[in-house]
Structure 1
Amino acid sequence: MKIWDLPTRLYHWLQALLFTLLAITGFNATGPHELLGIALSGLLVWRILWGMFGSETSRFRQFLRSPNTVYRYMKGQHPHHGAGHNPAGGWMVIAMLSLLLTQCFVGMSMAGFFDAFLSDDSLLYDTDLLVMIHLYGAYLLVATVALHISAIIFYKRKGTPLVKAMITGTQKHLPRPISVFFRSNIRAGIMLISVGGMFGMLLS
């Protein structure tokens, strides 16, 4: 059955592409790193909006569970029978979004995008501090992505092909039929265009 809508799948693969390019250009100090970071920032804002107003399986409230539920799930005491992210995967999404948002914010601060809104003694003027945070944030993100890939391999071996589901939008062998509510792709497109226009004004 269908569990992932087109906007969520599109976001996922664009995020993966932009993160890869940012890692390459950042660690090698070459290429359009700043422009890629701005593109990722806009993409993140779009995902957050879609997480609040998008399709059911894309909404944060649908896949965020309590720490106790996550703990029980990891111990095998809370089976996941719903569509979309499991309890642990839901918090992985939040962790990655938070890290990426922080990294983009720090990077844009380094590029001077927020200078007009800052006082002279703001910590965001401390270049050495920003560089350190940006560097270690990059290392932490790489480690998080490695953990994410490890989880994908683990679930693949258990017979749950997460990558295929994120490509096709469908997942087989669900324990029971589940009804999933999907929002219009047009709504997602309008949100994306609006966010793109906002970031375009930021660059102008």
Structure 2
Amino acid sequence: MTTNRQASPQGQRDRVRVWDPAVRLFHWGLVAAFAVAYVTVDSSRSVHQWAGYTALGLIAFRLIWGVIGTRHARFSDFVPGPRRLLDYMRRAVKGREPRYLGHNPAAAIMILFLLAATGAIGISGWLLTTDWGWGSRTIEQIHETSVNVTLVAIGLHVAAAIYESLHHRENLIRSMITGHKRR
């Protein structure tokens, strides 16, 4: 006789679905769009631009899904207030931060930052294609600086996911592929 937990898609009793397909498609779609835009900056202007437009579309979707989406997708579920963020950071410095089923407070801030920074890249890139922004050195500088800052943030994001995976003995990268985490 099996229970509902044993009949889960993973067939494992201790797993729970956290990341819905929309969140996972957004995440990996944004990774792909950013990577394509980055590697095609000098080789294919149209591919570069369409990758940027795709990123902007994904961000628009994520902002909507952050309000109406499933529990762990909603900003109200994971965006911390200052007190909760500071408490988490104090614990993290000591290596005693709690495990979160969804995003931890530091990850929430990184998500907001990455959304804003990638949005700045996309909007500044789009402005460079308009009559108003074409040839503007200021907008070009904003675009390039936003890319460089975002690359650093991506590195921190990946490093934090690896740290958190090791610290809490849970493969967060796999969970962003499968949607499941342990209870």
TM-score range, shorter chain: 0.7 to 0.9
Mapping 1:112-127, distance limit 5 Å: 112=130, 115=131, 124=133, 127=136
Quote the offset at 1:68 in angstroms: 2.3
Q: Which residue of 2 aligns with 1:161?
A: 171
Deviations 1:133-156 (A, max 9, x none): 111111001000000011011012
Structure 2 residue runs of 5 or longer lacking an equivalent are: 1-15
Give the 3-state SS of the residue equivalent to 1:75 in structure 2: helix
Question: What amino acid maps onto 1:30 in structure 2?
Answer: S
Deviations 1:109-131 (A, max 9, x none): 1011xx5xx7xxxxx46711011
% identity of equivalent residues: 26
Structure 1 residue runs of 5 or longer lacking an equivalent are: 119-123, 175-204
Number of matched pairs: 162
Quote the offset at 1:82 in angstroms: 4.5
Give the 3-state SS of the residue equivalent to 2:17 in structure 1: coil
Out of 34, 43, 50, the position equivalent to 1:30 is: 43
Give the 3-state SS of the residue equivalent to 1:171 in structure 2: strand
Report whether the alignment pairs 1:97 with 2:101.
Answer: no
Report whether the alignment pairs 1:15 with 2:30.
Answer: yes
Question: What amino acid maps onto 1:46 in structure 2?
Answer: F
What TM-score, normalized by structure 2, do the two folds share?
Answer: 0.82
Quote the offset at 1:44 in angstroms: 0.9
Mapping 1:69-84, distance limit 5 Å: 69-76=84-91, 79-80=97-98, 82-84=100-102
Where has structure 1 moved over 3 Å in runs of 4 or more? 77-82
Contact conserved, 2:89 with 2:97, CA < 8 A, in 1? no
Change (3 A) 1:24 1:168: same
Quote the offset at 1:132 in angstroms: 0.7
Mapping 1:119-138, distance limit 5 Å: 124=133, 127-138=136-147
Higher relative contact order at CA 8 Å, sep ≥6: structure 1 or structure 2? 1
Question: What amino acid maps onto 1:103 in structure 2?
Answer: I
* Greater helix proportion: 1
